[in-house]
């Protein structure tokens, strides 16, 4: 383009010289070169010069000529929303994320764990020290118990637990956010919250979650983060490896037993239980694995199929009227219950194989270990003798302690 401008300039000098000669001389015949064609050429030259000056002021030509990060104004494979972006986010002329066409990209072709790890290492100057199994567990835990929030352009992430051990593990691993205790009226700690509110931490979480969320409602919530980060004028993307905001992946991730997602959502919304029922003058022990999730009947049914049963999730009941015998249902909270007995031993084996491969990280891990120990006593040996039944009762008492320790605290996520 520089050579073209120089050529136009040289031709301009020639034309102007001929025009001046025409004015000073006594020519009666106007040469076609300096006549109407000359006027047309001068008009085009003037317009080109004005465009050149405007383009130079915007910095695009100078960036190209001086080789100053020309790619910052180019969209790579249709995936990165970097139109008209400066070093501190997006300009007012940038297009919305939804207007950018979806195309293939080497950057976002697979999961975004690698993209998250690269940005983590680039920002903190150290490698991320956990594997993909930990990340998939965390995403499951987040989808089950976390709150992806946005208010007036500000993004927040909140995770509430009674036991702060797992929250401190998350904080130390991700190196973002903070763990804060909350107190009751007696100034005793009621529960803890892991809170991320700075855009730098939100951006890293966005990179981690984008394309790796299983629940559709969480993808919809992440869209609000995408818009908030898109409009964050003071956020400096140059601090990170990506340098731009990746396009939101609209589709949810396929549910599988080959990662820790189910382990994470179990730590958030699952429990292991042992029931002792009267069955024809004898006591019968039932082993239960329970998962609760609001508005997610389809996902719970998919988990059931993966673990080898056609059991369906049902609306969770709060209580039952003794007079009318009518159930009172909770607000779209679905419950999936796995009942493991002698005829369904394969379900228990599938559950144990999965959690042995992808361990739980809260105190529910202890509950699972006791539950598994009881299963070895019970399955294939019922009705139990008084000695074994006493042993089961004692183990169940210990398991109930860890179940109570993991009861939901704080406010419910508005999903």
For residue 203, give the nearest of 166, 232, 178 by alpha carbon. 232
CA angle 206, 210, 215 (to 5 degrees): 110
Section 191-196 average pLDDT: 97
Share of the chain above pLDDT 70, in %: 66
Asked whether residue 23 carries a pLDDT value surpassing 70, the answer given is no
Q: Give every CB contact of residue 280 below 8 A, 6+ residues apart in sequence.
A: none
Q: What is the per-residue pLDDT for 67?
A: 35
Which of 337, 339, 398 shows the shortest CA–CA distance to 369? 398
> At residue 336, does pLDDT exceed 70?
yes
Greater confidence (71 vs 157) lies with: 157
| 146 band by pLDDT with thresholds 50, 70 and 90 | very high
DSSP result, 74-134: S-STTTB--TTEETTEE-TTPPPGGGSPP---TTTSS-SHHHHHHHHHHHHSS---S-HHH
- pLDDT at residue number 214: 97
Question: What φ, ψ does residue 198 adopt, rounded to 5°?
Answer: -75, 145
Q: Quick one: pLDDT at residue 90?
A: 38
pLDDT at 43: 57
Segment 399-413 shows an average pLDDT of 54
Alpha-carbon torsion angle 116, 216, 220, 149, nearest 10: -70
Q: What is the C-alpha separation between 290 and 297, in angstroms, rounded?
A: 13
Bigger pLDDT: 51 vs 253: 253
Q: Regarding predicted confidence, which is higher, 123 or 379?
A: 123
Q: Could you tell me which residues are beta bridge partners of residue 193?
A: 160, 180
pLDDT tens, 290-325? 999 999 999 999 999 999 999 999 998 765 554 455
Model pLDDT, residue 399: 83
The answer to whether residues 294 and 334 touch, using CB atoms and an 8 Å cutoff, is yes
DSSP 406: T
Residue among 174, 181, 218, 212 at smallest CA distance from 196: 174
Under a CB-based contact definition with an 8 Å cutoff, are residues 229 and 245 in contact?
Answer: yes
Could you report the per-residue pLDDT of 361-397, keeping only the tens digit for each?
999 999 999 999 999 999 888 888 888 999 999 999 8
More confidently predicted of 412 and 139 = 139
Task: Note the pLDDT of residue 12.
Answer: 62
Instruction: Out of 138-152, 277-291, 394-408, pick the least confident.
Output: 394-408
The residues, any chain, with a CB within 8 Å of residue 21's CB and separated by 6 or more, are: none
Residue 175 pLDDT greater than 60, yes or no? yes
pLDDT at 21 (0 to 100): 46
d(CA 336, CA 333): 10
């Amino acid at each position: 383009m520089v050579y073209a401008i120089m050529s136009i300039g040289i031709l301009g000098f020639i034309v102007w010289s001929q025009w001046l000669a025409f004015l000073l001389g006594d020519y009666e015949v106007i040469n076609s070169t300096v006549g109407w064609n000359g006027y047309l050429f001068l008009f085009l030259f003037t317009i080109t010069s004005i465009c050149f000056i405007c383009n130079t002021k915007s910095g695009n030509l100078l960036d190209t000529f001086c080789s100053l990060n020309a790619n910052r104004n180019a969209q790579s494979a249709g995936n990165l929303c970097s139109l008209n972006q400066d070093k501190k986010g997006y300009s007012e002329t940038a297009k919305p994320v939804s207007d950018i066409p979806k195309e293939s990209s080497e950057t976002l072709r697979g999961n975004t764990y690698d993209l998250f790890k690269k940005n983590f290492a680039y920002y903190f100057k150290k490698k991320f020290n956990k594997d993909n199994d930990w990340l998939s567990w965390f995403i499951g835990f987040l989808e089950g118990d976390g709150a992806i929030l946005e208010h007036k352009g500000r993004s927040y992430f909140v995770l509430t637990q009674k036991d702060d051990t797992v929250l401190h593990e998350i904080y130390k691993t991700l190196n973002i956010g903070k763990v804060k205790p909350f107190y009751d009226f007696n100034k005793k700690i009621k529960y803890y919250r892991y809170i991320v509110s700075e855009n730098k931490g939100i951006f890293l979480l966005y990179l981690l979650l984008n394309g790796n969320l299983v629940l559709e409602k969480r993808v919809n919530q992440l869209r609000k983060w995408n818009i908030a980060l898109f409009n964050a004028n003071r956020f400096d993307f140059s601090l990170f490896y990506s340098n731009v905001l990746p396009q939101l992946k609209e589709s949810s991730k396929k549910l599988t037993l080959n990662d820790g997602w189910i382990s994470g959502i179990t730590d958030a919304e699952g429990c292991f239980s042992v029931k002792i029922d009267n069955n024809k003058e004898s006591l019968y022990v039932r082993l239960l694995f329970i998962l609760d999730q609001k508005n997610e009947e389809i996902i719970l049914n998919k988990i059931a199929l993966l673990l080898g049963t056609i059991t369906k999730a049902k609306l969770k009941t709060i209580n039952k009227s003794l007079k009318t015998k009518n159930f009172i249902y909770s607000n779209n909270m679905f419950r999936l219950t796995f009942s493991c007995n002698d005829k369904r031993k394969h379900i228990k084996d599938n559950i144990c194989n999965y959690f042995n491969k992808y361990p739980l990280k809260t105190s529910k891990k202890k509950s699972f270990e006791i539950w598994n120990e009881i299963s070895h006593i019970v399955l294939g040996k019922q009705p139990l003798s008084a000695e074994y039944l006493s042993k089961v009762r004692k183990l169940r008492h210990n398991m109930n302690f860890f179940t109570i320790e993991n009861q939901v605290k704080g406010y419910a996520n508005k999903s």
